[in-house]
Structure 1
Protein backbone atom coordinates (compact mmCIF):
# COMPACT_ATOMS: atom_id res chain seq x y z
CA UNK A 1 0.00 0.00 0.00
CA UNK A 2 1.36 3.42 -0.94
CA UNK A 3 0.26 6.22 1.40
CA UNK A 4 -3.25 4.84 1.96
CA UNK A 5 -3.78 4.05 -1.73
CA UNK A 6 -4.56 0.33 -1.96
CA UNK A 7 -5.31 0.49 -5.71
CA UNK A 8 -1.80 1.66 -6.58
CA UNK A 9 0.83 -0.67 -8.03
CA UNK A 10 3.80 0.78 -6.14
CA UNK A 11 6.31 -0.56 -8.68
CA UNK A 12 4.57 1.32 -11.48
CA UNK A 13 4.05 4.61 -9.62
CA UNK A 14 7.34 6.38 -10.22
CA UNK A 15 8.40 9.39 -8.12
CA UNK A 16 8.38 12.71 -9.92
CA UNK A 17 11.94 13.44 -11.04
CA UNK A 18 12.09 17.21 -10.58
CA UNK A 19 15.71 17.30 -11.74
CA UNK A 20 14.56 16.40 -15.27
CA UNK A 21 11.98 19.20 -15.34
CA UNK A 22 13.56 22.21 -13.61
CA UNK A 23 16.65 24.37 -13.93
CA UNK A 24 19.09 25.40 -11.23
CA UNK A 25 17.80 28.30 -9.17
CA UNK A 26 14.12 27.59 -9.81
CA UNK A 27 11.64 27.06 -6.93
CA UNK A 28 12.28 23.83 -5.08
CA UNK A 29 9.43 23.82 -2.57
CA UNK A 30 6.60 21.31 -2.83
CA UNK A 31 4.16 22.34 -5.58
CA UNK A 32 1.12 24.16 -4.15
CA UNK A 33 -2.12 22.76 -5.57
CA UNK A 34 -5.65 24.04 -4.98
CA UNK A 35 -8.56 21.68 -5.66
CA UNK A 36 -12.17 22.72 -6.35
CA UNK A 37 -15.19 20.41 -6.58
CA UNK A 38 -18.70 21.12 -7.79
CA UNK A 39 -21.30 19.52 -5.55
CA UNK A 40 -22.38 19.83 -1.92
CA UNK A 41 -24.40 16.62 -1.78
CA UNK A 42 -23.86 14.59 1.38
CA UNK A 43 -22.21 11.93 -0.78
CA UNK A 44 -20.65 14.08 -3.48
CA UNK A 45 -18.79 12.01 -6.03
CA UNK A 46 -16.92 15.06 -7.33
CA UNK A 47 -15.69 15.60 -3.75
CA UNK A 48 -14.77 11.92 -3.37
CA UNK A 49 -12.86 11.93 -6.66
CA UNK A 50 -11.10 15.12 -5.59
CA UNK A 51 -10.11 13.57 -2.27
CA UNK A 52 -8.83 10.47 -4.05
CA UNK A 53 -6.76 12.63 -6.40
CA UNK A 54 -5.44 14.62 -3.43
CA UNK A 55 -4.00 11.42 -1.97
CA UNK A 56 -2.12 10.80 -5.21
CA UNK A 57 -0.81 14.37 -5.34
CA UNK A 58 0.39 14.21 -1.74
CA UNK A 59 2.14 10.93 -2.52
CA UNK A 60 3.94 12.78 -5.34
CA UNK A 61 5.05 15.37 -2.78
CA UNK A 62 2.58 18.21 -3.42
CA UNK A 63 1.06 20.58 -0.88
CA UNK A 64 -2.70 20.21 -1.38
CA UNK A 65 -5.60 22.34 -0.19
CA UNK A 66 -9.23 21.53 -0.98
CA UNK A 67 -11.67 24.44 -0.94
CA UNK A 68 -14.99 23.73 0.80
CA UNK A 69 -17.60 25.68 -1.23
CA UNK A 70 -20.29 25.49 1.46
CA UNK A 71 -21.45 29.01 2.24
CA UNK A 72 -19.98 30.60 -0.89
CA UNK A 73 -22.53 33.18 -2.11
CA UNK A 74 -23.65 33.68 -5.68
CA UNK A 75 -21.66 36.23 -7.64
CA UNK A 76 -23.12 39.74 -7.15
CA UNK A 77 -25.27 38.47 -4.28
CA UNK A 78 -22.60 39.44 -1.75
CA UNK A 79 -19.53 41.63 -1.47
CA UNK A 80 -16.13 40.36 -2.53
CA UNK A 81 -15.22 40.92 1.13
CA UNK A 82 -17.38 37.91 2.09
CA UNK A 83 -15.20 35.53 4.11
CA UNK A 84 -15.70 32.57 1.73
CA UNK A 85 -14.83 34.70 -1.29
CA UNK A 86 -11.70 35.94 0.46
CA UNK A 87 -10.75 32.37 1.41
CA UNK A 88 -11.14 31.19 -2.19
CA UNK A 89 -9.14 34.09 -3.62
CA UNK A 90 -6.34 33.70 -1.08
CA UNK A 91 -6.08 29.99 -1.90
CA UNK A 92 -5.96 30.75 -5.60
CA UNK A 93 -3.18 33.29 -5.07
CA UNK A 94 -1.32 30.72 -2.94
CA UNK A 95 -1.61 28.03 -5.60
CA UNK A 96 0.78 27.19 -8.41
CA UNK A 97 -1.62 24.64 -9.90
CA UNK A 98 -5.29 23.79 -9.62
CA UNK A 99 -7.64 20.85 -10.11
CA UNK A 100 -11.28 21.46 -11.04
CA UNK A 101 -13.71 18.56 -10.65
CA UNK A 102 -17.41 18.94 -11.44
CA UNK A 103 -20.39 16.67 -11.93
CA UNK A 104 -22.22 16.96 -15.22
CA UNK A 105 -25.70 18.34 -14.63
CA UNK A 106 -28.10 18.95 -17.54
CA UNK A 107 -25.19 18.48 -19.92
CA UNK A 108 -23.02 21.11 -18.26
CA UNK A 109 -20.91 21.90 -15.22
CA UNK A 110 -22.82 22.69 -12.06
CA UNK A 111 -23.74 26.20 -11.00
CA UNK A 112 -21.59 25.71 -7.90
CA UNK A 113 -18.53 24.98 -10.02
CA UNK A 114 -19.12 28.02 -12.22
CA UNK A 115 -19.71 30.22 -9.15
CA UNK A 116 -16.32 29.33 -7.73
CA UNK A 117 -14.61 30.17 -11.00
CA UNK A 118 -16.62 33.38 -11.42
CA UNK A 119 -15.44 34.66 -8.03
CA UNK A 120 -11.82 34.50 -9.30
CA UNK A 121 -11.12 37.76 -11.17
CA UNK A 122 -8.85 38.16 -14.17
CA UNK A 123 -7.65 41.46 -12.72
CA UNK A 124 -4.73 41.40 -10.28
CA UNK A 125 -5.28 41.24 -6.53
CA UNK A 126 -2.47 43.05 -4.72
CA UNK A 127 -0.50 43.05 -7.95
CA UNK A 128 -0.94 39.32 -8.66
CA UNK A 129 -3.49 37.58 -10.88
CA UNK A 130 -5.15 34.68 -9.03
CA UNK A 131 -5.16 32.26 -11.99
CA UNK A 132 -2.78 33.43 -14.73
CA UNK A 133 0.16 31.11 -15.38
CA UNK A 134 -1.06 28.33 -13.11
CA UNK A 135 -1.34 24.81 -14.44
CA UNK A 136 -4.82 23.26 -14.42
CA UNK A 137 -6.09 19.67 -14.45
CA UNK A 138 -9.74 18.85 -15.16
CA UNK A 139 -11.97 16.01 -13.98
CA UNK A 140 -15.69 15.29 -14.17
CA UNK A 141 -18.06 12.68 -12.77
CA UNK A 142 -21.10 11.42 -14.66
CA UNK A 143 -24.33 9.92 -13.38
CA UNK A 144 -24.70 7.89 -16.57
CA UNK A 145 -22.55 7.10 -19.57
CA UNK A 146 -19.22 8.80 -20.06
CA UNK A 147 -19.40 12.38 -21.26
CA UNK A 148 -16.93 15.18 -21.88
CA UNK A 149 -19.29 18.18 -21.95
CA UNK A 150 -18.22 19.50 -18.56
CA UNK A 151 -14.54 18.93 -19.30
CA UNK A 152 -14.85 20.85 -22.56
CA UNK A 153 -16.57 23.76 -20.80
CA UNK A 154 -14.00 23.90 -18.02
CA UNK A 155 -11.18 23.71 -20.56
CA UNK A 156 -12.56 26.84 -22.25
CA UNK A 157 -12.84 28.56 -18.87
CA UNK A 158 -9.31 27.56 -17.91
CA UNK A 159 -7.91 29.09 -21.08
CA UNK A 160 -10.06 32.19 -20.51
CA UNK A 161 -8.59 32.48 -17.02
CA UNK A 162 -5.12 32.42 -18.63
CA UNK A 163 -4.19 29.09 -17.12
CA UNK A 164 -1.99 26.37 -18.60
CA UNK A 165 -4.52 23.56 -19.07
CA UNK A 166 -2.78 20.19 -19.29
CA UNK A 167 -3.72 17.85 -22.18
CA UNK A 168 -4.90 14.87 -20.13
CA UNK A 169 -8.27 14.78 -18.35
CA UNK A 170 -10.51 12.41 -16.39
CA UNK A 171 -14.19 11.57 -16.93
CA UNK A 172 -15.72 8.94 -14.64
CA UNK A 173 -18.91 7.31 -15.94
CA UNK A 174 -21.59 6.02 -13.54
CA UNK A 175 -19.59 7.40 -10.64
CA UNK A 176 -21.99 5.86 -8.11
CA UNK A 177 -20.56 2.45 -9.07
CA UNK A 178 -16.91 3.52 -8.72
CA UNK A 179 -16.75 4.09 -4.95
CA UNK A 180 -17.05 1.53 -2.17
CA UNK A 181 -18.96 1.73 1.12
CA UNK A 182 -15.99 3.52 2.70
CA UNK A 183 -16.13 6.22 -0.01
CA UNK A 184 -12.87 5.06 -1.55
CA UNK A 185 -12.48 4.72 -5.29
CA UNK A 186 -12.37 1.16 -6.58
CA UNK A 187 -9.57 -0.10 -8.83
CA UNK A 188 -10.49 0.48 -12.47
CA UNK A 189 -9.31 2.14 -15.69
CA UNK A 190 -11.04 5.29 -14.37
CA UNK A 191 -8.85 5.21 -11.28
CA UNK A 192 -5.73 4.70 -13.39
CA UNK A 193 -6.66 7.65 -15.64
CA UNK A 194 -7.10 9.88 -12.59
CA UNK A 195 -3.58 8.93 -11.47
CA UNK A 196 -2.30 9.69 -14.98
CA UNK A 197 -3.84 13.16 -14.83
CA UNK A 198 -2.35 13.97 -11.42
CA UNK A 199 1.08 12.72 -12.53
CA UNK A 200 0.90 14.91 -15.63
CA UNK A 201 -0.21 17.91 -13.57
CA UNK A 202 2.81 17.56 -11.29
CA UNK A 203 5.19 17.39 -14.26
CA UNK A 204 3.69 20.39 -16.05
CA UNK A 205 3.67 22.38 -12.79
CA UNK A 206 7.35 21.72 -12.13
CA UNK A 207 8.16 22.46 -15.76
CA UNK A 208 6.37 25.83 -15.90
CA UNK A 209 6.10 27.39 -12.45
CA UNK A 210 9.55 28.97 -12.49
CA UNK A 211 8.80 30.37 -15.94
CA UNK A 212 5.09 31.21 -15.61
CA UNK A 213 5.60 34.98 -15.42
CA UNK A 214 7.68 34.92 -18.60
CA UNK A 215 5.37 32.53 -20.43
CA UNK A 216 2.38 34.80 -19.78
CA UNK A 217 4.17 38.12 -20.40
CA UNK A 218 2.26 39.79 -23.26
CA UNK A 219 3.23 42.50 -25.72
CA UNK A 220 -0.29 44.01 -25.70
CA UNK A 221 -0.19 44.41 -21.92
CA UNK A 222 3.29 45.94 -22.00
CA UNK A 223 2.11 48.48 -24.56
CA UNK A 224 -1.00 49.25 -22.54
CA UNK A 225 1.06 49.66 -19.37
CA UNK A 226 3.49 52.02 -21.12
CA UNK A 227 0.59 54.10 -22.44
CA UNK A 228 -0.99 54.24 -18.98
CA UNK A 229 2.27 55.42 -17.41
CA UNK A 230 2.71 58.05 -20.11
CA UNK A 231 -0.83 59.35 -19.66
CA UNK A 232 -0.36 59.60 -15.90
CA UNK A 233 2.96 61.44 -16.19
CA UNK A 234 1.61 63.85 -18.81
CA UNK A 235 -1.45 64.56 -16.70
CA UNK A 236 0.66 65.26 -13.62
CA UNK A 237 2.91 67.69 -15.51
CA UNK A 238 0.08 69.53 -17.29
Structure 2
Protein backbone atom coordinates (compact mmCIF):
# COMPACT_ATOMS: atom_id res chain seq x y z
CA UNK A 1 0.00 0.00 0.00
CA UNK A 2 1.42 3.39 -0.93
CA UNK A 3 2.25 5.82 1.82
CA UNK A 4 0.25 9.04 1.95
CA UNK A 5 2.67 11.94 1.98
CA UNK A 6 2.13 15.22 3.81
CA UNK A 7 2.23 18.64 2.18
CA UNK A 8 5.79 19.30 3.33
CA UNK A 9 7.02 16.13 1.61
CA UNK A 10 5.15 16.97 -1.56
CA UNK A 11 6.53 20.50 -1.52
CA UNK A 12 10.09 19.16 -1.43
CA UNK A 13 9.30 16.66 -4.19
CA UNK A 14 7.81 19.41 -6.34
CA UNK A 15 10.94 21.50 -5.79
CA UNK A 16 13.20 18.59 -6.71
CA UNK A 17 11.24 17.68 -9.82
CA UNK A 18 10.89 21.26 -11.02
CA UNK A 19 14.59 22.04 -10.62
CA UNK A 20 16.28 18.71 -11.22
CA UNK A 21 17.31 19.57 -14.79
CA UNK A 22 17.79 23.31 -14.27
CA UNK A 23 20.95 25.21 -15.12
CA UNK A 24 21.67 25.49 -11.41
CA UNK A 25 22.44 21.78 -11.15
CA UNK A 26 23.59 20.52 -14.56
CA UNK A 27 25.24 17.42 -13.07
CA UNK A 28 22.17 15.98 -11.37
CA UNK A 29 21.07 12.61 -12.74
CA UNK A 30 17.30 12.93 -13.06
CA UNK A 31 16.81 9.15 -12.99
CA UNK A 32 18.37 8.97 -9.52
CA UNK A 33 16.17 11.61 -7.87
CA UNK A 34 14.90 10.61 -4.47
CA UNK A 35 12.96 13.22 -2.54
CA UNK A 36 13.48 13.53 1.19
CA UNK A 37 10.78 11.42 2.83
CA UNK A 38 9.95 13.97 5.50
CA UNK A 39 7.04 11.92 6.79
CA UNK A 40 9.35 9.14 7.95
CA UNK A 41 11.68 11.59 9.74
CA UNK A 42 9.44 13.89 11.76
CA UNK A 43 6.68 13.61 14.32
CA UNK A 44 3.21 15.11 14.30
CA UNK A 45 4.25 18.14 16.36
CA UNK A 46 7.65 18.71 14.76
CA UNK A 47 8.31 21.96 12.85
CA UNK A 48 7.58 21.79 9.13
CA UNK A 49 9.19 24.94 7.77
CA UNK A 50 12.19 24.68 5.44
CA UNK A 51 15.37 23.71 7.33
CA UNK A 52 17.58 26.75 7.96
CA UNK A 53 21.21 26.07 7.07
CA UNK A 54 24.19 28.39 7.62
CA UNK A 55 27.23 27.83 5.39
CA UNK A 56 30.72 28.93 6.46
CA UNK A 57 33.86 28.78 4.32
CA UNK A 58 37.49 29.41 5.18
CA UNK A 59 39.30 31.42 2.52
CA UNK A 60 39.28 35.00 1.25
CA UNK A 61 41.12 34.43 -2.02
CA UNK A 62 39.57 35.94 -5.13
CA UNK A 63 39.02 32.42 -6.48
CA UNK A 64 38.53 30.53 -3.26
CA UNK A 65 37.85 26.84 -3.81
CA UNK A 66 36.34 26.49 -0.34
CA UNK A 67 33.89 29.23 -1.32
CA UNK A 68 33.17 27.57 -4.66
CA UNK A 69 32.55 24.24 -2.90
CA UNK A 70 30.34 26.03 -0.38
CA UNK A 71 28.36 27.66 -3.18
CA UNK A 72 27.96 24.29 -4.93
CA UNK A 73 26.70 22.73 -1.71
CA UNK A 74 24.38 25.68 -1.10
CA UNK A 75 22.71 25.09 -4.47
CA UNK A 76 22.18 21.45 -3.55
CA UNK A 77 20.80 22.31 -0.12
CA UNK A 78 18.32 24.73 -1.69
CA UNK A 79 17.42 22.02 -4.19
CA UNK A 80 16.62 19.77 -1.23
CA UNK A 81 14.24 22.43 0.09
CA UNK A 82 16.41 24.30 2.60
CA UNK A 83 16.65 27.99 3.33
CA UNK A 84 20.38 28.69 3.03
CA UNK A 85 22.49 31.64 4.07
CA UNK A 86 26.23 31.96 3.55
CA UNK A 87 28.45 34.13 5.75
CA UNK A 88 31.19 36.14 4.07
CA UNK A 89 34.13 36.21 6.53
CA UNK A 90 35.76 39.24 4.88
CA UNK A 91 36.09 41.95 7.52
CA UNK A 92 35.59 39.64 10.49
CA UNK A 93 38.19 40.65 13.12
CA UNK A 94 40.43 38.21 14.88
CA UNK A 95 38.92 36.86 18.12
CA UNK A 96 39.70 39.16 21.07
CA UNK A 97 40.92 41.89 18.69
CA UNK A 98 37.53 43.62 18.69
CA UNK A 99 34.45 43.86 20.86
CA UNK A 100 31.59 41.44 20.35
CA UNK A 101 29.40 44.32 19.12
CA UNK A 102 31.49 44.55 15.93
CA UNK A 103 29.04 44.44 12.99
CA UNK A 104 30.58 41.33 11.42
CA UNK A 105 30.59 39.50 14.74
CA UNK A 106 26.96 40.43 15.32
CA UNK A 107 26.05 39.26 11.81
CA UNK A 108 27.75 35.90 12.36
CA UNK A 109 26.17 35.36 15.77
CA UNK A 110 22.70 36.26 14.52
CA UNK A 111 23.08 33.79 11.66
CA UNK A 112 24.27 31.11 14.08
CA UNK A 113 21.18 31.62 16.24
CA UNK A 114 18.92 31.68 13.16
CA UNK A 115 20.28 28.41 11.80
CA UNK A 116 19.10 24.88 12.55
CA UNK A 117 22.10 23.28 10.87
CA UNK A 118 25.46 24.30 9.46
CA UNK A 119 27.92 23.35 6.75
CA UNK A 120 31.59 24.16 7.32
CA UNK A 121 33.98 24.12 4.35
CA UNK A 122 37.67 24.80 5.00
CA UNK A 123 40.82 24.59 2.92
CA UNK A 124 43.70 22.63 4.36
CA UNK A 125 46.64 24.90 5.15
CA UNK A 126 49.80 23.57 6.77
CA UNK A 127 47.93 20.36 7.57
CA UNK A 128 45.15 22.12 9.43
CA UNK A 129 42.08 24.31 9.07
CA UNK A 130 42.68 27.93 8.15
CA UNK A 131 42.77 30.76 10.67
CA UNK A 132 39.81 32.31 8.81
CA UNK A 133 37.73 29.18 9.46
CA UNK A 134 38.80 28.96 13.10
CA UNK A 135 38.10 32.65 13.71
CA UNK A 136 34.49 32.21 12.62
CA UNK A 137 33.99 29.25 14.94
CA UNK A 138 35.76 31.03 17.81
CA UNK A 139 33.44 34.04 17.51
CA UNK A 140 30.39 31.80 18.03
CA UNK A 141 30.09 31.30 21.80
CA UNK A 142 28.85 28.14 23.47
CA UNK A 143 26.34 30.28 25.36
CA UNK A 144 24.94 33.69 24.49
CA UNK A 145 22.44 35.34 26.81
CA UNK A 146 21.12 32.03 28.10
CA UNK A 147 20.92 30.60 24.56
CA UNK A 148 23.34 28.02 23.15
CA UNK A 149 23.70 29.05 19.48
CA UNK A 150 25.05 25.70 18.26
CA UNK A 151 23.95 23.04 20.77
CA UNK A 152 21.87 20.26 19.25
CA UNK A 153 22.09 21.67 15.73
CA UNK A 154 23.28 19.57 12.82
CA UNK A 155 26.65 20.01 11.13
CA UNK A 156 28.20 18.79 7.89
CA UNK A 157 31.92 19.20 7.19
CA UNK A 158 33.94 19.47 3.97
CA UNK A 159 37.50 20.36 3.03
CA UNK A 160 39.39 21.30 -0.12
CA UNK A 161 43.09 20.68 -0.67
CA UNK A 162 45.65 21.93 -3.16
CA UNK A 163 47.45 18.59 -3.10
CA UNK A 164 46.64 14.92 -2.60
CA UNK A 165 43.76 13.47 -0.62
CA UNK A 166 43.83 14.38 3.06
CA UNK A 167 41.43 14.21 5.98
CA UNK A 168 43.31 16.42 8.45
CA UNK A 169 40.89 19.31 8.11
CA UNK A 170 37.64 17.35 8.28
CA UNK A 171 38.98 15.50 11.33
CA UNK A 172 39.68 18.81 13.08
CA UNK A 173 36.32 20.24 12.04
CA UNK A 174 34.66 17.15 13.49
CA UNK A 175 36.40 17.75 16.83
CA UNK A 176 35.29 21.39 16.79
CA UNK A 177 31.72 20.37 15.96
CA UNK A 178 31.67 18.03 18.95
CA UNK A 179 33.10 20.79 21.15
CA UNK A 180 30.34 23.13 19.96
CA UNK A 181 27.83 20.41 20.97
CA UNK A 182 26.60 19.90 17.44
CA UNK A 183 25.24 16.75 15.82
CA UNK A 184 27.95 16.18 13.22
CA UNK A 185 26.70 13.85 10.50
CA UNK A 186 28.72 10.70 9.68
CA UNK A 187 29.37 11.61 6.04
CA UNK A 188 32.00 14.13 4.96
CA UNK A 189 33.73 15.40 1.84
CA UNK A 190 37.41 15.93 1.06
CA UNK A 191 38.25 17.37 -2.36
CA UNK A 192 41.93 16.90 -3.35
CA UNK A 193 43.57 19.04 -6.03
CA UNK A 194 40.52 21.26 -5.96
CA UNK A 195 41.89 23.45 -8.75
CA UNK A 196 41.20 20.53 -11.13
CA UNK A 197 37.62 19.98 -9.93
CA UNK A 198 36.05 23.29 -11.01
CA UNK A 199 35.50 24.49 -14.57
CA UNK A 200 36.00 27.95 -16.05
CA UNK A 201 32.51 28.94 -14.84
CA UNK A 202 33.49 28.07 -11.25
CA UNK A 203 31.18 25.06 -11.20
CA UNK A 204 32.23 21.69 -9.84
CA UNK A 205 32.75 19.03 -12.49
CA UNK A 206 30.94 15.72 -12.45
CA UNK A 207 33.07 13.12 -10.64
CA UNK A 208 32.90 10.79 -7.64
CA UNK A 209 33.99 13.82 -5.59
CA UNK A 210 30.91 15.74 -6.74
CA UNK A 211 28.69 12.78 -5.91
CA UNK A 212 30.12 12.79 -2.38
CA UNK A 213 29.19 16.46 -2.01
CA UNK A 214 25.63 15.55 -3.02
CA UNK A 215 25.66 12.72 -0.45
CA UNK A 216 26.79 15.09 2.31
CA UNK A 217 24.09 17.63 1.51
CA UNK A 218 21.36 14.98 1.32
CA UNK A 219 22.43 13.50 4.66
CA UNK A 220 22.62 16.91 6.34
CA UNK A 221 19.04 17.66 5.28
CA UNK A 222 17.81 14.28 6.53
CA UNK A 223 19.50 14.65 9.91
CA UNK A 224 18.18 18.21 10.29
CA UNK A 225 14.60 17.11 9.62
CA UNK A 226 15.07 14.17 11.98
CA UNK A 227 16.61 15.94 14.98
CA UNK A 228 15.59 19.60 15.10
CA UNK A 229 12.20 18.91 16.66
CA UNK A 230 13.91 16.81 19.33
CA UNK A 231 16.97 18.97 19.93
CA UNK A 232 15.91 20.21 23.37
CA UNK A 233 15.30 16.66 24.60
CA UNK A 234 18.47 15.25 23.06
CA UNK A 235 20.61 17.90 24.76
CA UNK A 236 18.88 17.79 28.16
CA UNK A 237 21.66 16.68 30.55
CA UNK A 238 21.60 15.20 34.03
CA UNK A 239 24.52 17.36 35.21
CA UNK A 240 22.79 20.55 34.07
CA UNK A 241 19.53 19.51 35.75
CA UNK A 242 21.43 18.95 39.01
CA UNK A 243 23.11 22.35 38.65
CA UNK A 244 19.81 24.10 37.93
CA UNK A 245 18.12 22.43 40.90
CA UNK A 246 20.97 23.55 43.16
CA UNK A 247 20.62 27.14 41.95
CA UNK A 248 16.87 27.11 42.58
CA UNK A 249 17.41 25.66 46.06
CA UNK A 250 20.01 28.34 46.79
CA UNK A 251 17.63 31.15 45.78
CA UNK A 252 14.84 29.67 47.90
CA UNK A 253 17.09 29.44 50.92
CA UNK A 254 18.27 33.04 50.46
CA UNK A 255 14.67 34.27 50.33
CA UNK A 256 13.80 32.40 53.53
CA UNK A 257 16.59 34.08 55.51
Q: Same fold (TM over 0.5)?
A: yes
Q: Contact 1:33 / 1:65 at 8 angstroms: preserved in 2?
A: yes
Per-residue CA shift, 1:106-134, capped at 9, x if unaligned? 000000100000011112x2432100000
Aligned length: 237
Trace 1:1-238 onto structure 2 (pairs within 5 A): 1-2=21-22, 4-123=24-143, 125-238=144-257
> When you count strand as a share of all residues, which structure comes out higher?
1
The answer for unaligned runs of 5 or more in structure 1 is: none
**How large is the Cα RMSD of the aligned pairs?**
1.0
Runs of 4+ in 1 over 4 A off after TM superposition: none
State how far apart, in whole Å, the 2-side matches of 1:166 and 1:155 are.
Answer: 9
Per-residue CA shift, 1:136-187, capped at 9, x if unaligned? 0000000000100000001001001000000000000000000011101111
State how far apart, in whole Å, the 1-side matches of 2:249 and 2:100 are.
Answer: 31
Q: Contact 1:131 / 1:162 at 8 angstroms: preserved in 2?
A: yes
Q: CA deviation at 1:237?
A: 3.5
TM-score, L = length of structure 2:
0.90
State how far apart, in whole Å, the 2-side matches of 1:150 and 1:183 are.
Answer: 23
Q: Contact 1:36 / 1:100 at 8 angstroms: preserved in 2?
A: yes
SS of residue in 2 equivalent to 1:55: helix
TM-score, L = length of structure 1:
0.97
> When you count helix as a share of all residues, which structure comes out higher?
2
Q: CA deviation at 1:17?
A: 1.3
Q: CA deviation at 1:226?
A: 1.1
Q: CA deviation at 1:227?
A: 1.0
Q: Contact 1:138 / 1:154 at 8 angstroms: preserved in 2?
A: yes
The answer for unaligned runs of 5 or more in structure 2 is: 1-20
State how far apart, in whole Å, the 2-side matches of 1:206 and 1:20 are.
Answer: 10
